[in-house]
Amino acid sequence: MFVANEKMLKQMAEKQGFIAALDQSGGSTPGALRQYGIPDDAYNSDAEMFKLMHEMRVRIMTASSFTGEKVIGAILFERTMDGEANGKPVPTFLWEDRGVVPFLKVDKGLEEQADGVQLMKPNPGLDDLLARTVKLGIFGTKMRSVIHSASEKGIAAVAAQQFEAGKQLIAHGLVPILEPEVSIKSADKAACEKILCDELLKGLDALPESSQVMIKLTIPNEADFYRPLIEHPRVVRVVALSGGYTRSDACRKLAENHGMIASFSRALINELKKSMSDDEFDKTLEQSIDEIYGASIEKV
């Protein structure tokens, strides 16, 4: 497989640290802004809403602690990718100024639940987006689907869709992050994880030997349950989503899973507020980064 940047690949495969998920989009944006301290009546259009969200993300990305020393990658929303930070295109700023590998969220959201899962919506413009993505220096992409119950048929469909889209991304020289999230609210979460692991291993075994993917998963009920995926030769890295856990709970659970690093969103940024001074903002973010970094590299 052709990979646009071998230095980025080496960093994602080998460097200690975690991936920041800065990819809230569409329906999740108002909630993220409210958490940040910006109420719904502070903007009158989607354009104004996304402008405020971009300003928040730039404040995070330009903070002194947000560097490749601990944050080895960042997942972006399309509008963030197209924006600027410190006068540079965001992907260029992240890699050249911060040493952070840029990824892009490329899915278009979720279908309604069926067979205990939510598949990704159709994405007919994906090839055009990927061509533009490569030109902007993006290394990889992320696609999310959700599993709610232990349906073998549904989970097999989720895995099949993830790998089908993943092959499309690989053809553009990108490294896909496959994200079949198991809901932490699932009544049979452990059973979901067993079916999912089996389906992912089947999909990985069927990939050409030259193909490489990353996988983003809910932290499993059983510590080290996903080790067969972590050790698979076609897997660059397995990363964990926080899934609605508090940061302390997510970090405690993550520290029990060897070889798994964080890719947190809410658990990274929840305590940040627009009203904070720059010093207070930077200190709060640094504490969050340090805690997540620790859980990613210091295992119990």
Residues designated as active site: 179, 216
Read off the DSSP letter of residue 42.
Answer: G
Residue 198 CA neighbour count, 13 Å, CB half: 12
Count the helices and strands in the chain (H runs, E runs). Answer: 12, 11
Query: What's the CA gap between 250 and 269, in Å, rounded?
Result: 14
Query: What's the CA gap between 3 and 8, in Å, rounded?
Result: 9
Taking CA atoms, 62 is separated from 15, 80, 277, in Å, by: 21, 14, 14
C-alpha angle 227-228-234 in degrees, rounded to nearest 5: 115
Helix H or strand E segment including 294: helix 278-297
C-alpha angle 171-180-121 in degrees, rounded to nearest 5: 70
Looking at this protein, which amino acid is placed at residue 60? Answer: I
Query: What's the CA gap between 93 and 62, in Å, rounded?
Result: 9
C-alpha dihedral sign at 250, 243, 75, 139: positive
